[in-house]
Structure 1
Amino acid sequence: MTLEVDLSHPLGAFRLEARFRSEGRLTALFGRSGAGKTTLVRAIAGLIRPEAGRIVVHGRTLVDTANRVFVPMHRRRVGVVFQDARLFPHLSVRRNLLFGRWFTPRNARAASVGHVVDLLGIGHLLDRRPATLSGGERQRVAIGRALLADPQILLLDEPLASLDEARKAEIMPYLERLRDETGLPIVLVSHSVAEISRLATDVVVLADGRAVASGPATEILGRPSLFPDLGPTEAGALIETRVLSHDDAYGLTVLQAKAGTLTVPRLERPVGSALRVRLRARDIMLALRAPEGLSALNVLPGRVVALAQADRSSMDVTLDCAGDAVVVHLTRKSADRLGLRPELLVHAVIKGIAFDADTVGPTLRNAPAGHI
């Protein structure tokens, strides 16, 4: 899927001036509240008419103000899921799902009700009313209703923002299946690095109405300067790994990365499974030599490629670990004591307990050629 956006539109005290192109299967729009994420989604959906610009989805022009093109929402084949599920309270789950079909001509209905129900794990909910569902269940039903309208693109406007951590953990695997198994391009609005690290293939960073960066998630999330509001608590990098083995005696799993192995708490994944791991900059220490006598099990050799001062007292150091870019946040004093400089060989030391549900998730799998 190719999404091309070049928009200019009034947005409160400033203007939305967003220009980017994405070919990712799940494109995340990231930024703090008021950055323009939801306005951008509403423009793609056809809920607002932009003052100027173009929107092209998979070669189909939805908006081109210079040529007076504006495809109305009901003709865009766009599915939208909002932060609040917006289900009809008087209808059962089954009837809420089937409502999505009413707007699609019979000869254009490709989505299978049974497959969508199985994909989202909502078969046991079909006869219930929305008021009896958990927040995560309501969002899964809302996604199912959108899918059954046979959209050509799915827009998710902060679908996890109103959920507690337990409900987020409940729905996350279904969003991963949606990304991997449907072949349907998705745009996800989020202000959570953990969410986009686990779900996004591409990321567009918005700040004050401007798209300040866009590209593959592994590249964008490895640039701490793009996330100044988050500080060292969330900045980091993504690397691709595979399950190498399990250590049942200690409840651990060993992952193979390009630069070496990582030992993490036991994962219920078969050997050979591809996993994407987020290494948070705050969870890494640096050593000039391979350390001995430490409790840390994870040590990756690397080469310093860049140093950037983060604030008065700290620095962000980017390493090349056999082709994986790893970011380390440390004090300026530590950097000086180690004599850090470009091309210096170092060792990144990562604690095993740094890995949790927010940092380890399945990597992108090949999607089928067709849609759901």
Structure 2
Amino acid sequence: MASTNEPSFQGWVALDEHSIGHLKWQSYEPKPWEETDVDIEITHCGICGSDLHTLRSGWGPTMYPAVVGHEIVGRAVRVGSQVKHVKVGDRVGVGAQSDSCLNRTTQCGDCSSGQENMCTNHGRCDTYNGVYLNGGKSYGGYGDYNRCPGHFVVKIPEGLDSADAAPMLCAGITTYAPLKNNGCGPGKRVGIIGVGGLGHFGILWAKAFGADRVVGISRREAKRANALQIGADDYIATADDENWLKKNAGTLDLIVCTISSSKMPLREYLGLLDTNGRMIQVGAPEGPLPTIMAFDFIPKGKSLGGSCIGPPWQIQEMLDFAAKKGIKPWVEKRSMKDVNATLIDMEKELARYRYVLVNESHV
């Protein structure tokens, strides 16, 4: 039987574009309850670079007041009667997307084919800074509770720590999906650009998929030891080795780029690809990508593509895979009470490699 007790929604609220380090704890009104919804008592929430972009309106105007955080793990405390895969008391999570049109407003080929993450129709809603079909705003995980449609709620498997599972719900799936969807495995030479919150997951997944060679790529030598410890077979420091491209041209089959910079050496990155190689961009700069030329990819049949998180079924697949393979991300736990100081550290790029907020009142 579905629970009918409505929790009190409070969280760390952003009031304007200067909110990084200045969030205020206060109440807010979640989306109006529907019998397709789940209320989650939050125990853990990862901090994502997307949170910083949104807090400062870097990707466009944010709908303040806002509560960010889309790597949410906790317990289901209220479950709508139309939700069949989750029950009250289950350990669950929700990632960056919490709704799509699901064919409610139009016949959607993406939702019909299990690619809800590709849906751009009316009805799509991100886990924060969005609007649901019933008019309610979406609020994220820097708080006590989260309410979202049950279709986007996944179960956390036994054997997977909640603090480890939380960042998988965005950073994890953002790198798992392009690797899995582009054939990462035996016989592939894979490069992961950016050894950070997303990139360190990329190295972990590529090794677990059985790639022949995994290369971490970053600007400075400082992260070499970390990249190799995470599991990379080799490392390229683009700012500390002026001959890095000459030494490594044409040596990779698949690249996932997690960098969110308009100044990255994109043409040179494409030069790392061998014949028919693919580069998949997942990092999203606030400005335009660098200019590339047609002959950067035409002669060797290279391709440049993109990837956006993953649908709920693939997130569940990823979590089950992580539990089976014993995937252990580099996580630093911080108290939910210390969110403002943690955001400042995140902006300073001090995370090694993912901060996870712990709500001590619920653990």
| TM-score in terms of structure 1 length | 0.26
Please state which structure has a larger fraction of its residues in strand: 1
| TM-score in terms of structure 2 length | 0.26
